[in-house]
Structure 1
Amino acid sequence: MATQYEISGTTAKGITRSVEQRVSEGTLAPGAALPPVRRLAEELGVSAGTVATAYKELRRRGIVVTLGRGGTVVAEAPSVASRRPPKVPEGLRDLAGGHPDPALLPALVPPSRLSPGVRSHRSTPRLARLEDAVRTWLGADGVPVEQVTFAHGALDFVGRVLSVELRPGDAVAMEDPGYHHLLDLVGALGLRSVPVAVDDEGMRPEELRGALRAGVRAVVLSPRAQNPFGGTFSRARRDALAEVLREAPDVLVVENDHASEVSGVPLRTLAGAGLARWAHVRTVSKFLGTDLRWAAVACDPLTLARHDGRLLLTSGWVSHLLQETVYGLLTDEGTQELVSRARTAYAGRRTALAKALAGRGVPVHGASGLNLWVPVRDESAVVNGLRSRGWWVAAGARFRLASAPGVRITTADLEPSEADRLASDFAAVLDESEATYGG
């Protein structure tokens, strides 16, 4: 056994399994170097080819990466240990989770009409009335609704469609900073993330053009409430992105409208903007309930066929009980009124903190959604400094590929009356951090 690295095995599969277990346990942390192929082969008493095969499989699965002369190291977000947030210390005000305010979510009541007995729904995977409601819902925002389908959430759809469309080693253009679970998912599929910088209007067109020239085969982006930056497409930005994407008709574009009804801004969608391959994904977890793992999807015919074909071979369909629950909530007047109140409340809370921070000279981003992104020089210093003052915010490392440091603050349940105190504490922590760096 290679005791220094705690790697064992006499076959490629055994070595792969050993490394995966060490990474999952945390013994091999992100960035940890694996031994050179020949050294590990000597220590384990196997051929160099056996170790090389194991390392190749680990790279394919997104557990390790090769850095040329830097050797083979554990990936920053290995597929067996995603970028889970640290546990919130007891007694702190949690502003790191990215979750909606529970007080602004409707009560989830199972439908009174349950599925009659044990039978397959493969012949009718989607409830017709929910499909009609989805067409009305998405169509009102200008999304083409000729082809619609359902999934078990946005991540479920993205993972399934990318696994069908792409092969390990293919590249995907991803927002930077971006949603950490999506970044982890791409790596877990054995795909490469190509960072595309974002600003207050979403992905930057020239950065996206560069990613397309680099050979990406898919693009995943948010039209509004971009997580964590909060960007939202302006009409001009949407048109500019569409122009760039039309230059690459074979590239699949996935538009993730995760906050939709509570984003606080209108949708300016790329769907229907002359793209050949596209999908618009919309979830309900931010405004109907985090346990409702359901997503509506509108897409081009080929994407629909490929997604539904793979769905048929796995879960088969999205639970009709779940569909009944979603339909009841989407069409309930009381729920619609609650969602409207939530939309107003979230916008007010986000704006209150943004103004309080800006008033103290702290630059901040968050044009829509439930979060603010604050650029900082030292994420750890800011997170720990705010912790000492009773606040818990998210370090930006989980969300970044190549972008500059920052922290994410979830404002979903931060009352406007709390904004001044948090902003004052934030400014004080930044002053302390700047003093540490000498200005």
Structure 2
Amino acid sequence: MATQYSISGTTAKGIAASVERAVTDGGLGPGDALPPVRRLADDLGVSPGTVATAYKELRQRGVVVTRGRGGTVVAAAPAVASRRPPKVPEGLRDLAGGHPDPAFLPDLLPPAQLSPGSRSHRSAPRLPELEEAVRAWIGGHGVPVEHVTFAHGALDCVARLLSTELRPGDTVAMEDPGYHHLLDLVQALGLRSVAVPVDDEGMRPEALAAAVRAGARAVVYSPRAQNPYGGCFSEGRRDALVEVLRETPEVLVIENDHASDIAGAELNSLAAGGLSRWAHVRTVTKFLGTDLRWAAAACDPTTLARHDGRLLLTSGWISHLLQRTVLGLMSDGDTMGLVDRARTAYGERRRALVAALGSHGIAAHGMSGMNVWVPVVDESGVVNGLRSRGWWVAAGFRFRIASGPGVRISTAGLEPGDAVRLASDFAEVLGESEATYGG
């Protein structure tokens, strides 16, 4: 507990550094409360303003959050300590990781010709052939592709876009439930998340409108294969969301089409709706290989300039060896045939689990992608009950802001026959839970 750790320092920076060390070392954990400002000021012999400044700095860097009357507590995923998923216990079937089936991933081989010598690619950071391939890949769905750029994966791209546009304390509209790494990233950047509930068609327009009215300066979402809920935009939902965002042209719209080719649903992109500030981001990790830390983005010219300006000052460019590898895979007919088979198999496996659960009267959501979301009353009870039967699924708390409890089941490697057995076990676990809680 926080009371067991002694915070030290006589300046705001010293106090903030002391708290940060405690979080890094594990002396303070997620949710632990920091002392009230006046009490800590008295303990340290400093002014309340000094402590308040230290707490403000920690908030801006995503180490702590303030909960009104609940005081200041260590963030659920503090920026100084990464929150890794729990290790899969030995002997359990892993349905928690969200990983693709290795059987549908191509062999990764380095390009035949490696870059000679040591030279800078800052003046020409992108392979022209890969740029053209990206324009054909993304532009086929109606997204404008005059301006494209690359990044070290989707999260890297989103982080750069948000950090160049927003400042600590600004608000980002986020899907709820949503992808836990994105939720953690927003918090780590010192930004605040405002929950936008989702359903089978993605973000709800009225909730997004409320978030924008409340001052959200950016919105991050997935148009299909929404993680963890599995929603995908219909044409009607896309049009309704575009209508909301056209009223606030200053809001940055970030579309994370992370599953793209294996999503199992058509893309209805907001980026094709004539918005002022936008970026459509895609990666290949789900269908070409998890080690290919590469993403492409199409965006408006202002967003492109700000993203590339920051990239130029950091890594400078994305490895040309990596670009050449991605280009080779995207141009290979056998590889893309494997991707087609993966898309079909993932769709069959996802639908099989939803149907199997439904046969037991268990509602589940998974219109697209590689995950199924199952609302439950008691997350830990379901996770532990399935664990005792040989299954390892993800508790929903990591994905939620304000939405109700649930569990996420990754279906990429779950054959239809196994889905029937899992659904039967799930029903038994829910029966035990109802007996415990009285229905």
What interval of TM-score do these two structures reach, taking the shorter chain for normalisation? over 0.9
2:269, 2:82 → 1: CA distance? 30
Q: Which amino acid aligns with 2:13?
A: K
Q: Is the 8 A contact 1:64 1:74 kept in 2?
A: yes
TM-score, with length taken from structure 1: 0.98
Matched, 1:94 2:90: no
Q: Which amino acid aligns with 1:347?
A: G
Quote how far apart the aligned CAs of 1:4 are. 2.7
Aligned residue number for residue 323 of structure 2 = 323
Aligned residue number for residue 47 of structure 1 = 47
Aligned residue number for residue 162 of structure 1 = 162
Matched, 1:407 2:388: no
Aligned residue number for residue 348 of structure 2 = 348
Question: What residue ranges of structure 2 are gaps of 5+ in the alignment?
Answer: none
Q: Following superposition of structure 1 onto structure 2, how do residues 57-96 of structure 1 map, counting pairs within 5 Å? A: 57-96=57-96
Q: Cα deviation per residue 1:277-321 (whole Å; 9 max; x = unaligned)? A: 111000000000001010010000100011001111111011100
Question: What residue ranges of structure 1 are gaps of 5+ in the alignment?
Answer: none
Quote how far apart the aligned CAs of 1:188 are. 0.8
What is the CA RMSD across the aligned residues, in angstroms?
1.2
Aligned residue number for residue 148 of structure 2 = 148
Q: Following superposition of structure 1 onto structure 2, how do residues 32-431 of structure 1 map, counting pairs within 5 Å? A: 32-431=32-431
Q: Is the 8 A contact 2:171 2:194 kept in 1?
A: yes
Quote how far apart the aligned CAs of 1:107 are. 0.6
1:69, 1:404 → 2: CA distance? 23
Q: Is the 8 A contact 1:83 1:398 kept in 2?
A: no
Q: Which amino acid aligns with 1:422?
A: L
Q: Is the 8 A contact 1:5 1:35 kept in 2?
A: no
Quote how far apart the aligned CAs of 1:157 are. 0.8
SS of 2:270's equivalent in the other structure is coil
Aligned residue number for residue 27 of structure 1 = 27
Q: Cα deviation per residue 1:354-402 (whole Å; 9 max; x = unaligned)? A: 1100110000000000100000001000000000111000000000000
2:230, 2:381 → 1: CA distance? 23
Count of aligned pairs? 438
Residue identity (%): 76
Q: Is the 8 A contact 2:96 2:393 kept in 1?
A: yes
1:83, 1:201 → 2: CA distance? 29
1:24, 1:354 → 2: CA distance? 41
2:332, 2:299 → 1: CA distance? 26
Q: Which amino acid aligns with 2:308?
A: D
SS of 2:271's equivalent in the other structure is coil
Q: Cα deviation per residue 1:164-197 (whole Å; 9 max; x = unaligned)? A: 1111111000000000110011111111101000
Q: Which amino acid aligns with 2:8?
A: S
Quote how far apart the aligned CAs of 1:91 are. 0.8
Quote how far apart the aligned CAs of 1:82 are. 4.1
Q: Is the 8 A contact 1:8 1:14 kept in 2?
A: yes
1:24, 1:198 → 2: CA distance? 34
SS of 2:365's equivalent in the other structure is coil
Q: Is the 8 A contact 1:5 1:34 kept in 2?
A: no
Q: Following superposition of structure 1 onto structure 2, how do residues 426-437 of structure 1 map, counting pairs within 5 Å? A: 426-437=426-437
Q: Which amino acid aligns with 2:273?
A: A
Q: Is the 8 A contact 2:65 2:73 kept in 1?
A: yes
Q: Is the 8 A contact 2:3 2:35 kept in 1?
A: no
